[in-house]
Structure formats: structure tokens, C-alpha cells
Chains A and B, each alone.
Chain A
Amino acid sequence: MATQPVTVPAPVRRSWALTPRSVVSICLSTSFVLIYVLGMVGGIMRANQAAVVHLPLDTFYSLLTLHGTGMIALVTLAMAAGLWYAVHDILDLRPRVLMVGFALFCLGIVLVLVATLVGGFAAGWTFLYPLPFVNTTWPAWATLAFLLGVLAVGLGFSIYCMDILTAVVGRYGGLLRGLGLDALIPALGRPGQEVAPPPVIAATMVGIDGAIGTLAGAVILIALLAHYVNPAFPIDALWAKNVTYFFGHIIANLDIYLAAGTIYAYLPTYAGREWKTNGVLALSWVGSLVFVLTAYGHHLYMDFVQPPALQFLGESTSYLASVPPAVVTIFGAVLLVYRSGIRWHVGSVLLYAGLVGWAVGGTAAELDASIPFNFVLHNTLWVVAHFHTYLLGGAFLFAIAFASHFAGEREAMSGWARAGLWLLLGGITLFLASFYVSGLEGVPRREAIQPAPGPVLSLYATAAVAVLLAGLTLVLLDVWHRARRSRAFPEEAA
């Protein structure tokens, strides 16, 4: 550089083209800005539970509904964009389709924002029938806006999944090969064709389960819309609960499986080792594919009228669901890092920390998925603790890791980023600890005003949220700064 003659740098290109990089950038930026805001909403809810601020009850529950629905949609958006980027070359995916999915997510999120903040809709992100319709504190149109919003997000995700599945079939000539099963059963292979790499396997699994999950989502949403139009349209509460949780469980769970795809794609670049498909890996993904669909039953353990067969299916497959990630993906990731001389940067630190969140959140989930424990943990803050561990302390960290990698990590990690990581991870740990202890102490979830010792623990949590957000600010600014640099000097980007 120094020996070259000084030239005036060409002006940065301002026009916006629909390239893989630009579409993924816009998905990530939108998602991070809104997650940041909804994280602040989470902090306000904790402050209310600590009796530091005093929101009207209906406001609290509108914010809770907004936070839950929005966060699930936004983490899905960020991770979907990450995995899309990891496989778009191999599968020849079109940025335009991702853009359509993104537009539907945006439409859905705007509808949810309007429904909750303007309309005051507050039936929770699970909108469990018949709550959205009975003695509501909000006008009927807010229910309609919310249901249409969730429908739009579901449609966006469904298009994303169908696009991936179509591309997998085009590239590998079948979904079984997309799942890498020719590594297990050589007879399945096609001569001269390589086995699908791990990120493609993850994408195929997410595509299949996502298509099934969003279909279930469409069924319940259309039933609710029919009931909205004609209140005489009959809905059975137990049926509605089964379908709602089948849908909700799949979508929330898939966030982490989307993330697994990005781990396969990017952890090896830090560790300097390859992660290849083999029979065990392929088999483990078939396991996950099945267990994600059947494990939802653990949401209905406390419905004693639910057929026992479904209860036992729920419990056994909830246990088994831990096996593929624990034995193949998380174990494999740790093995990949073991004495690899890994390069620590924002991306690799967060991938590694996210694996811890996944493992710990999974452990907490397994305890709660045990029927005798669920008897005293169901609908306590323990539940909220476990899913925040793997969504906030797992999937969301994977999303930032991806963004950091995507932004380019050529220069050494900055001191600000380092400080930000400590604050972020420390804040998350304290924040989660408060939920766990509250849960064991019997504090129910979704209480604007909590019984003791909820308020004291909420106070600690509120402080932890401040630390967490401070760290998040530093980390995101660091990523953003690097992203701008690599846009000005694209040749430097990773």
C-alpha cells in the first residue's frame, strides 16, 4: 500500500443492488435494531416486576405480547438470513426470494406493533384460544391485526423454507440427499455427486420442519380468523392448544437449528479445521427432524385430559431431542475447537459462548420436560429462563457472531469489542440467573406484579439488563464500524 502512488479513493457506490450481501445486510440490520429496542422493552418489564416503574396492567401485557412475538420473529429473521448466506452459493438461492420473505416479516412485525402498541392487543405471543376473543381490554380490530401479522411472518418463513427445499431438490435431486443420507446409505448416492455439506443438511431439516410448522400455524390462524368473522365457528380449546404449541414450539426451536447451520459453516474458519458430513451427522439430523415435531407435547403435560400416549411421546422425544445436538453438533464443535489454535474474535467468541447457552438452556429444558418436575415448574419463570438461555444466550449470540464474521474480521479484536463481550456475556448470565432462581422459588411467568421473592430478583435482573445492553451496544457498534469499513474497502472483507 505504502509504495503505491497516492490516488483519490473512488466514491463509495451509493446505488443499492439486490445482491446476496445487500439483502442479508438489510435483514441483519433491521433485525438487530428491533431486537435492541425489544430488549429495552424486556428491561422495562423487569423494572415493572421490580416495582421500579409502574405500568398499567394492560400496558404491561401488550408489551409482553409485543416482546415475545417480535423477538421470535426477529431472531428467526436474523438466523434465517445467516443460514441463507452460508448456503446460497451451493444451492444457488436467489436474493429476490429472501427479499420477499423479508418484506413479509416486516409487514407482519408492523402489524404486531400496531396491534399491541396502538390497539393494546395483549393475549401473549401464544394467543391461546379463547383468550384473544373473551372480555378483551382491546378493540376487535387489534386481534385481527395481530393474527394477520403472525400469519404474514409465518408466510414469509414458509416461502423461505419452500425456496430452500426447491433448491435442495434441484441441486441434489431429492430431500434425502439434502439431508446427507447418502453418507449413511451409499446406495442412495448419485455417481459423481458429493454428499451435501453440513450447512445444507441443516437448511434441509429446517426447510422441512419449517414448512410443516408454518402449515400448522396457518391452520390455527385461519381457524381463529374464521372464529373472528363468525363467533359461531366452533373451536375446541384442547385442539387449539395442541396446534398452537405444535406451531410455536417448532418455530422457536428451529431458531437454534438454523443457528447450527451457521456454526457448521463458520466455526471451521476460525478453528482452521474442516467439518465434513458423515453418516453419524446425517443420522443425527434425521433424529432432530423427527423430535422437533413430536416434542411439543411437553407444553401440555398439565392438561390431564390430554391422551396419555401424547404425554409419553412428548416426554420421551423431548429427552431424545437432546441427543443429536449434544452428541453431534455441540460435541463436534467443542472437538473442532479442542487444541485447534482457534483465532478468537467477536465471531468465534460468540459462537463458542452460544454453544454454552445452547447446552445449558437444553439442560434446563430437559428438567422441565420431566413430567414430575413440570408439575412444579410449568408456567413459572423457570420456563422463561430456559428459553432465554438458548434464544438470547444461544441463537441471538450466533446471529451476532454471523454478523461479525460477515462484516469482516481482518484486524485484531478492538478493546471496545472485548469490553463489550465481557459486559454482554456477564449481563446475560446474571439476567438468566434471576429467572432460574425465581422459577425454583415458584414465581409464575407473565405476572406484572409478582409474589415474593420475585420483586427482589427482578431488581437484580433489571440491573443485569442494563449491563447486557451496554455490552450489546459496544459489540454492535464494533460490528457496524467494521461493516462500513469493509463496504468502503470490499477487498478487505473476509
Chain B
Amino acid sequence: MVPLGARQDLVLVLFATMVTAIGAVFVWVALTARGRLEYQAVRPHGYFLRSWWFGVLLALCAFGFVVSLASLPYPAEANPTRAPALQVRVKGVQWAWLLSTDRVPAGRLIEFEVTATDVNHGFGIYSPHGVLLGQVQAMPGYVNHLFFRFPHPGVYLIRCMEYCGAEHPYMLMPLTVYQAS
């Protein structure tokens, strides 16, 4: 198995928690469904609970939205100081990646300028351990700017993330990340 990335880990914890809660409610209601109560007796309590549930869910939505704003992958957020970054031009073609360089330094902000010439591709960055670290689409006629910092030196893998025809699974390219002096 591939180790989970930090974000994937968080997704797993959140998902497991919520699924457990959902499962618990459904199982409990199913198990106690036999003892019959009049709906008139149940409903007022149910509606009271519902207004709380509504409030909690709305709060969760608002919380999630605000928190997500803090770690957006978009250029303005990923490079807030507008510091100069090392630029790498990326072009996706059926079925290869054309990069202006295949060696980049670790720890520095890299700006990938990603586009495609034929169909849509997806520029996905995998760690040497096989963890998906992030991605951006490669679309004909557009250039997407991805600011990215490689945490460690090593051989990373660029993998196509958007179905682009028969050879899509083989659209791979190694990217060497070296220790910057």
C-alpha cells in the first residue's frame, strides 16, 4: 500500500467519522423500529431535533467554506507575495509530457505553466512514494498556472489525470527534484 498523503489522511478521518455517525443512526433506528409509537407523539421531538441538525449542518458548511479559503491551490493564494518563482513550461500531448526542464530544485516555489495542444490532459504530481500531491488541468487554448513547492529531493512522477484517449494510462514522466544548494 502507498502511504496516505496529509490531505488524504484528513479526508479519511473526516469520512470515517461521518460514516460512523450516519451508520449508527440508521442502525439504531432500524433496530428500535419495532416498538410502535404514534407519529403525533414522535414528530414534535423530531422537529426540535431537526432544527438543531439544520443549525449544525449550516455551521459546518460555513466552517468548511472559510477553512477551504485558507489553502486554495490557485495562483493568487499559492503565491501570495508574488515572489518570483522558477518557471517550467508544461505541454500535454497525446500521449507524452513536454516540459521545458525535467530537473527542479526542492524547497523552492516552482511555477508550472500548463497547457495542452490536442485534447484535455491532467497534470498530476506523485511523490516518490506514489502519493498524489496535487494537480491541475491541461486544456488546449488555455494556460493554467500551478505554484508548487517540492518538499524533498527525489524522483517524482507526472501522471496524466484526465482521460485523453487509449494510451492515457501510459502518459507518465519522471521529474527529478534535486537538493538546492
Contacts and interface: CB of A to CB of B under 8 A. Distances in A.
Interface in A214-261: 236-238, 241
A203 B149 CA distance: 50
A363 B13 CA distance: 12
Given A339-B35, A370-B68, A360 B19 contact: yes
A364 interface: yes
B32 to A, nearest CB: 6
Contacts of A339: 32-33, 35-37, 42
Chain B binding surface SS class: mixed
Nearest to B58: A323
Interface stretch (A8-16, A194-202, A303-311, A466-474): A303-311
Contacts of A382: 11
Interface in A335-365: 335-342, 352, 355-356, 359-360, 363-364
B74 A304 contact: yes
Interface string B39-82: 10011001000100110011001001100100111110000000
Interface string B9-46: 01110110011001101100110111111010011001
B130 A452 contact: yes
A375 B134 contact: yes
A37 B137 CA distance: 34
Interface stretch (B83-91, B97-105, B117-125): B117-125
A360 B130 CA distance: 27
A372 B71 contact: yes
Contact of B33 (A302, A322, A327, A342): A342
Please tell me the size bucket of the interface on A.
Answer: 35 or more
Contact of A352 (B19, B30, B126): B30
Contacts of A131: 119-120, 163-165
Contacts of B136: 302, 304
B135 A323 contact: no
Given A319-B65, A327-B53, A379 B168 contact: no
B169 A447 contact: yes
A188 interface: no
A267 B2 CA distance: 43
Interface residues of B, number: 78
B53 to A, nearest CB: 6
A364 B15 contact: yes
A240 to B, nearest CB: 10
Contact of B1 (A322, A340, A378, A441): A441
A273 B7 contact: no
Given A322-B57, A376-B7, A363 B22 contact: yes
A334 B26 contact: yes
A440 B11 contact: yes
A360 B4 contact: no
A326 B61 CA distance: 12
Given A237-B139, A304-B75, A442 B131 contact: yes
A174 interface: no
A304 B22 CA distance: 34
A442 B65 contact: no
Q: Which 5 A-B pairs have the closest CB atoms?
A: A442-B132, A341-B36, A319-B61, A335-B46, A446-B163
Given A57-B169, A135-B94, A135-B118, 9 more contacts: A134-B94, A334-B29, A335-B43, A338-B29, A341-B34, A359-B26, A370-B68, A440-B11, A442-B8
Interface of B: 1-2, 4-5, 7-8, 10-12, 14-15, 18-19, 22-23, 25-26, 29-30, 32-37, 39, 42-43, 46, 50, 53-54, 57-58, 61, 64-65, 68, 71-75, 94, 118-120, 122, 124, 126, 130-137, 139-146, 159-170
26 contacts: A131-B163, A131-B164, A236-B141, A237-B120, A238-B142, A302-B135, A304-B146, A323-B58, A331-B50, A335-B50, A336-B39, A339-B35, A341-B35, A352-B30, A359-B26, A363-B19, A364-B15, A372-B71, A376-B135, A436-B15, A440-B11, A440-B12, A442-B2, A442-B5, A442-B131, A447-B169
